[in-house]
A and B are shown apart, each in its own frame.
Chain A
Amino acid sequence: MGSERDERGGEGEPPIAVELEGVGKRYDGTVAVEDVDLAVREGEFFTLVGPSGCGKTTTLRLIAGFEEPTAGTVRFGGRDVSGVPPEGRNVGVVFQNYALFPHMTVGENVGYGLRFSDPPGDVTRAERVRDLLDLVDLPGTADRDPESLSGGQRQRVAMARALAPGPDLLLLDEPMSALDARLRERLRLQVREIQRELGITTVYVTHDQEEALSVSDRVAVMRGGTPEQVAEPRTVYRRPASRFVAEFVGDNNVFEGVVAGESGDGENGDEDGDREGPVSVPVDVDGATLRVAVGGNDRATDGDPGIGDRIVFCVRPQHLRVGRTENGLEATVESAEFLGETTRIHLAWGDRELLVRTEDPLSGTVVVGFDPADAHVIGVDGR
């Protein structure tokens, strides 16, 4: 741990930096987190994402040592850290509200952690402070008052302060959520860049799924105190492991139905017949029969679903194409939101709502359909 270089690229994965095993935290009978099993690898940018109250911040606080778990173990590099106070864990923490010490200058803030440890490398404390202010693109601000800085600048000072003692682990607790949208996007790129440059293992907490997808190596989507899926952003987006993840990460159309026939019944959904594509099954959803690709490398389905199995699958709005007759659904336009590049249309199909993305606004009754291969099966429940 603590290497300044990203050591990935050798054979095998980098070693585990932080590991949570069966971790739980209860406060007076209420469960904040439960059964959390996570492993963050060295140099990884790992994000905990979920709605408020999902336990993501508590998980971060358990790693930082601000809270002690009521069950399970937290390990740093294989070492059990229970009972180790925050000051003994060599972590850097950045909070949402910056938490800069108002009675100290910017330089004193950044240098505070260096009162307790020598700066890494062969530099003086003053040099280290200057280097870090340069790193976060705030050179020459050491003598300023934190109050005189803008929100984004304060956040970068907080970042510099957390990094100054050369922590093994950087913990970011919703560091952007007090900033406006545009600044947030710029800053998260900067954070990612700094993280890559230092190769520091980072755990990032956010409620913003878009932010999570854009910066992370891996994402843990949390709900009700437990991670529902831990995977790379693309996997989480394309192959959500649960209905909750499917609906939380991006827009989605989730269908529930019953398998109505054998796999391969009728023609394959793919027009390119000789391609080695996944086979599809007919699924009865509210009286309509939709073909859904199953098998392939979908981990959610081991083997083909049998007739009568309940099945949950999802289709992203951008895959629901207007005018496509395959898996065609006749729906009426309820409302439209103009988002700039696209328009999000809310459709009513029976008593279900469907979302589609188009470039142009729609009205009246339309037919939308999807390629069976674009449907992702979330779960199959054999009877």
Chain B
Amino acid sequence: MSHGSGGRGGPDAPEHRRNRTARLRDRIERHALAGLTVATVAVLAVVFYYPVGTVLVESVVVDGAVTLGVFVDLLRDPFYFGELARLFAGESPLTVARALVDPDRRLGIVGFTAYQAALSTVASVALGLPAAYLLARFEFPGRRTLRSLTIVPFVLPSIMVAVGFVATFGRNGTLNALLAAVGLGPVELMFSLEAIVIAHAFYNAPLVARVTTAAWESVDAGAVETARSLGAGPLRSFLDVVAPQVYPAVLMGAALTFVFTFGTFPIVLALGGFELATVEVFVYRLARDLNYAEAAALAVVELVISLAVLGAYLRYEARHTVTSRGVRPLPRRPLVPSAPTAGALLARLGLGVYGVVAALVFLAPIASMVLASVTGGDGTLTLDHYRFLVERQRTGAAFQVRPWPAIRNSLVFAAASALVALPMGVVVAVVTTRRYRGRKLVDAVAMAPFAVSGILVGLGLLRGLVFGVEVAGWRIAVAGSAAIVAAHAVAGYPFVVRTVAPGLESLDRSLIESARALGASRARVLGDVELPLVWPGVVAGAAFAVAISMGEFTATVVLATGADAYTMPVAIERFIGRRLGPATAMGCVLLVVTGLSFVVIERLGGEYDGI
């Protein structure tokens, strides 16, 4: 209100003008939300649905003719599907089943991907559940901090985690150094399934712990007390009352872990070497070899499997959602029992052992990476690796990876993609928290980028936009860096939705209606009432968007084919094969930058339980 409280009793002319500008502003405001929605849809269509669509089309159109030949070949190829390929080729299910139980069975790429995802899921649940038990049922200093630390993997770039694992489990890693110190021979964990599974557990166990803790905390103590008063013992009341409310969350954590690890890329690329390749890695190789049709078909197969798992989970969730919010959560026990009993001691002993294992899995990679970055080849402390980075920056050739462009690109892409992701995420959050017919569909369409692999998005953007599109005789091409920003925004905005939507959903509807009755337009209510009230969620969403962009590797590596659009994660990957030292040094730089994003999230205390 530029006139402040003035404007009363003033001359007619300014009053008249004020009315006109006010009317214009009203008109803009009335359509602001619709306009933003249209813009969001347009951005999604251009940078996600169109590019991904072109890839899908490429998999079924060969030489201008529609064919499913590529798929049929793929399904019948034992290289991809192992023994299952014989089933698709028409052999009897019995023969195939017999072949599958044979010790010499071949799994193929797809089979191996599912196999490692299943193992990773089991490991993540096994590592995540004790943490949930600890966080939900015990009180100890630092509990809240530990609880919020479970969000860290989401902001840790996966390629950095991979570097940490190489630094820990590699031939010259910390583990072998420790083993050598006690006189044990070196172990070879690199390029093994174990390394991949542990790295995946590092990533996903905190997710399982988060969702399970949230569910456990929402169990009403009154329900347990009722069960006890009706005659159920502690174990029985746990099984009958607590477990049914907790295990849908465990299942959700498991389903998400499976989907994430099924589409894993940077970790397998860095830790799996050449022998162990997942579907995503192979899609990347095929695309790099310009075999786009097969790459696209394989990506589609991957997408179908991921969506099938997610769909099965969502069907289950729809039938089993317990909406009751615990009015009074179960009381937490002190970690140091006042009157130790055998049972209490045993539980705490178990947690102690778990604590050691967890510290190893979660802290060792980061610590090893930091350590490796300041350790020379002869085992002495040195800043050589950082000096190498500075040196490379000064003297590096144009084709060589230099650190400053990587840092600069990462920061610029992060800022730009957050600027795109934030309004998109807020708009989607607003649109999906309204109640109307077809909301589920809108939700699914808007959240699809969560489930679609980064390679597919990157490939689509590369083929669809970077290589250019013919529109009415004009060739429209997008710069690689713009495409990277688009890919990062698409990867980041679902996190904004997830941090903003729960707050909007739980806002009292009468607040919005009061504001509207007082004369505020829908867009005005959003700005005056809703966003200020969910502000921590908005800031947390922005921090997520920045962190996701900072750590995004998959789509970036596809799009950063040009010499100068690489980011820090891409730089690390290019270093990792040849020089672990500089890779760890670069990893530390990335750690500091993403660590700052985490501080922002933590300080502003945003609601990110939705993730």
Find out whether the CB atom of A64 lies under 8 angstroms from the CB atom of B7: no
A291 at the binding interface (Cβ < 8 Å): no
Contact partner of B514 (CB less than 8 A), chosen from A65, A95, A117, A165, is A95
Give chain A interface residues in 96-133, CB to chain B under 8 Å: 96-97, 99, 101-103, 112-113, 115-119, 122-126
- For the complex, is B381 an interface residue (Cβ under 8 Å from A)? no
Please indicate the chain B residues that have their CB under 8 angstroms from the CB of A89 in the complex: 517
Distance in angstroms from A18 CB to nearest chain B CB is 14
In the complex, 14 of the A-B residue pairs with CB atoms within 8 angstroms, ordered by the A residue number, are: A85-B516, A85-B521, A85-B522, A89-B517, A91-B517, A93-B513, A97-B510, A99-B510, A99-B513, A103-B532, A112-B520, A116-B518, A158-B514, A165-B519
Asked if A101 and B5 make an inter-chain contact with CB atoms under 8 angstroms apart, the answer reads no
Residues of B within 8 A of A62 (CB): none
Question: Does B443 have its Cβ within 8 Å of any Cβ on chain A?
Answer: no
Chain B's closest residue to A64 (CB) is: B517
Residues of B within 8 A of A95 (CB): 510, 513-514
The reply on B12 being an interface residue by CB < 8 A is no
Nearest-neighbour CB distance to chain A for B436, whole angstroms, equals: 11
- Whether B343 sits at the interface, judged by CB under 8 Å, is no
Give a binary string over B404-442; 1 marks a CB under 8 Å from any A CB, 0 the rest: 000000000000000000000000000000000000000
Cβ of B515 < 8 Å from any Cβ of A? yes
Q: How many whole Å from B287's CB to the nearest CB in chain A? A: 47
User: How many A residues touch B, CB cutoff 8 Å?
Assistant: 36
Q: Are A112 and B528 in contact (CB under 8 A)?
A: yes
Let me know if B533 is at the binding interface, CB within 8 A.
Answer: yes
B8 at the A interface (CB under 8 A): yes
Interface residues of A in 204-220 (CB under 8 A from B): none
Do residues A86 and B8 form an inter-chain contact, with CB atoms below 8 A?
no
A161 interface residue (CB < 8 Å to B): yes
Instruction: Return the CB mask of B519-535 against A: 1 if under 8 Å, else 0.
Output: 11110100011001100
Q: A85-B522, A87-B519, A99-B511 are in contact. List 5 more A-B contacts (CB 8 A).
A: A87-B516, A96-B510, A112-B520, A123-B8, A161-B518
User: CA–CA, A118 to B517, complex, Å?
Assistant: 15
**Interface presence of A269 (CB below 8 A):** no
* Residues of chain B lying within 8 A (CB to CB) of residue A64: 513, 517
Interface pair A87/B520, CB less than 8 Å apart: yes
Q: Please report A residues at the B interface, Cβ cutoff 8 Å.
A: 64-66, 85-87, 89-93, 95-97, 99, 101-103, 112-113, 115-119, 122-126, 158, 161-162, 164-165, 171
* Docked-complex contact B508 and A101, CB < 8 angstroms: no
Q: Check if B1 is an interface residue, CB within 8 A of chain A.
A: yes
In the complex, are the beta carbons of B517 and A101 less than 8 A apart?
no
Q: Which residue of B508, B513, B515, B522 is within 8 Å of A112 (Cβ)?
A: B515
- Alpha-carbon distance A91/B520, docked complex (angstroms): 12
Q: Chain B residues with Cβ under 8 A from A101's Cβ?
A: 511, 514-515, 528-529, 533
Kindly state the separation between the CA atoms of A158 and B519 in the bound complex, as whole angstroms.
Answer: 15
A34 and B520 CA atoms in complex are apart in Å by 30
Residue on A nearest B515 in the bound complex, by CB: A112
**Chain B residue with minimal CB distance to A86?**
B516
Do A122 and B513 touch (CB < 8 A)?
A: no
Cβ-closest 7 pairs across A and B: A116-B519, A113-B518, A99-B510, A95-B510, A86-B516, A93-B517, A124-B5
* Chain A: minimal CB distance from B249 (Å): 30
For chain B, the bracket of interface size reads 20 to 34
**Nearest-Cβ distance from residue A66 to partner chain B, whole angstroms:** 5
Bound complex: CA A125 to CA B518 (Å): 14
Chain B residues with CB under 8 A of A96: 510
Residues of B within 8 A of A86 (CB): 513, 516-517
Within the complex, the shortest CB–CB distance from B533 to chain A, in Å, comes to 6
Residue pair B514, A93 in contact (C-beta under 8 Å):
yes
Q: Which residues of B contact A102 (CB under 8 A)?
A: 533
Chain A residue nearest to B7 in the complex (CB): A118
With both chains docked as a complex, state the minimum distance between the C-beta of B427 and any C-beta of chain A, in angstroms.
19
B543 to chain A, nearest CB (A): 21
A260–B268 alpha-carbon span in the complex (Å)? 95
Are B513 and A126 closer than 8 Å at their CB atoms? no
In the assembly, what is the distance between CA of A102 and CA of B535, in Å?
13
Q: Which residues of B contact A162 (CB under 8 A)?
A: 514, 517-518
Measured CA separation A90–B514 after assembly (Å):
12
Q: Which of chain B's residues has its CB closest to A85's CB?
A: B516
Q: Which residue of A85, A87, A97, A103 contacts B533 across the interface (Cβ within 8 Å)?
A: A103
Task: Check A87–B521 contact: CB distance below 8 A.
Answer: yes
B428 CB → nearest A CB, Å: 23
B9 sits at the interface (CB 8 A): yes
Give the complex CA separation of A88 and B213 in angstroms. Answer: 46
In the bound complex, how far is the Cα of B513 from the Cα of A119, in angstroms?
A: 21
- Judge whether A165 and B518 touch: CB under 8 Å: yes
Given A95-B513, A102-B533: A112 in contact with B5 (beta carbons within 8 A) = no
| B8, B9, B518, B519 — most chain A CB neighbours (10 Å) | B518
Whether A118 contacts B8 by the Cβ 8 Å rule is yes
Give the chain A neighbours of B520 by CB distance below 8 A: 87, 112, 115-116
Most buried by A among B1, B511, B522, B532: B511
Are A112 and B518 in touch, CB under 8 angstroms?
yes
Q: Interface 1/0s, chain B 1-28, versus A by CB < 8 A? A: 1000101110000000000000000000
B513 CB, min distance to chain A CBs, angstroms: 5
Nearest neighbor of B521 in chain A, beta-carbon distance = A87
Q: Are B9 and A122 in contact (CB under 8 A)?
A: yes
Residues of A within 8 A of B514 (CB): 93, 95, 99, 101, 158, 161-162
Specify which chain B residues have a CB less than 8 angstroms from the CB of A165 in the assembled complex.
518-519
Contacting pair B8 A92 (CB below 8 A): no
Chain B residues, CB < 8 A from A90: 519
**Once the chains bind, are B513 and A124 in contact (CB under 8 Å)?**
no
| Residues of chain B within 8 A of A87, CB atoms compared | 516-521
Interface flags, B337-368, vs A, CB<8A=1, else 0: 00000000000000000000000000000000
How far does the Cβ of B534 sit from chain A's closest Cβ, in whole Å?
10
By a CB distance below 8 angstroms, the chain A residues around B533 are: 101-103
Instruction: Establish whether residues A115 and B1, one from each chain, have CB atoms under 8 Å apart when the complex forms.
Output: yes
Choose among A101, A123, A158 the residue with the greatest number of B CB atoms under 10 Å from its CB.
A101
A99: chain B residues within 8 A (beta carbon): 508, 510-511, 513-514
Q: Which residues of A contact B513 (CB under 8 A)?
A: 64, 66, 86, 93, 95, 99
Interface residues of B in 1-58 (CB under 8 A from A): 1, 5, 7-9
How many Å lie between the Cα of A124 and that of B9 in the bound state?
10
Q: Which of A66, A116, A125 contacts B5 (CB 8 A)?
A: A125
Chain A nearest CB, measured from B251 CB (Å) = 30
B521: A residues at CB distance < 8 A: 85, 87
In the bound complex, residues from chain B placing their C-beta under 8 Å from that of A126 are 5
Q: Which residues of A contact B529 (CB under 8 A)?
A: 101, 103
CB distance from A106 to the nearest CB of B (A): 14
Q: In whole angstroms, what is the CA distance A54 to B80 when docked?
A: 63
A residues less than 8 Å from B522 (CB atoms): 85
Q: Considering the complex, which residues of chain B in the window 239-270 have a beta carbon less than 8 Å from any beta carbon of chain A?
A: none
